Amino acid sequence: MLDDELSDNNLDENGNLINPLDQHFPMTMEHMEPSIGMEFESVEDARELYEMYGRCMGFTIRNNRTRRSLKDNSIIGREFVCSKEGFRAEKYTKKETKVSQSRPATREGCNAMLRIAAKDGGKWVIYGFIKEHNHELNPSKIPPRRSHRIAFCEDEKDLKIRELSSELHREKKKSAAYQEQLQIVLNYIEEHTQQLSLKVNLVSNNLRELESED
């Protein structure tokens, strides 16, 4: 796990940032910049590197999408994006406008992102990276960093809410499908019962006619 806070202890004698994963390796911006194929021991390590890179460049990040296996529902992919990714929903935009006319936009449709996927052996690898931002990058405007563990925990709560909402939506679709299949069976039984009733009436009429002839 990467260190939660950056300090002077993370710099070597030449002012280079030291990689917390390897205290003997000076991490420059060139080494810190994500690249396709870069591997990590865990999701947290990948997120931590991207967050450190973002803070040095002048942007913050957040969790975005999660990919799950169709076999066992385990997490096999994660996506981290710039905090200015997407756009605020219209209802929030109107509310913020009423509160403060001078409040800056928090979402500007930025496409910068980092995607990782699980590999055999438990490691994670970068398979998608967009470096370019559509807004100004200024490291001096980045607010003091909270503990990574707390931020990650809060992101996980939001992620859990989205996952539960998706699961509820899937269960509703399954329920609707089951109801449709049940209705088909009931219709079949009803139709079969009507046909059986007609056959019983026909046999009964035939018997009465035979008795009458006798």
Q: How far apart are CA 52 and CA 132, in angstroms?
A: 16
| pLDDT tens digits for range 16-58 | 444 444 444 445 555 678 999 999 999 999 999 999 999 888 8
Would you list the domain boundaries of the chain?
A: 8-145, 156-214
| pLDDT tens digits for range 56-105 | 888 999 998 899 989 888 899 999 999 888 877 665 555 555 555 555 56
pLDDT at residue 93 in the model:
54
**Contact present, 78 and 115 (Cβ < 8 Å):** yes
What is the pLDDT confidence band of residue 155, given thresholds at 50, 70 and 90?
A: low
Q: Is 152 helix (H, G, I), strand (E, B) or coil?
A: helix
**Closest to 162 in 3D by CA, of 86, 67, 89, 82:** 67
Please spell the DSSP secondary structure of 20-52, one letter per residue. TT-TTSEE-HHHHS--TT-EESSHHHHHHHHHH
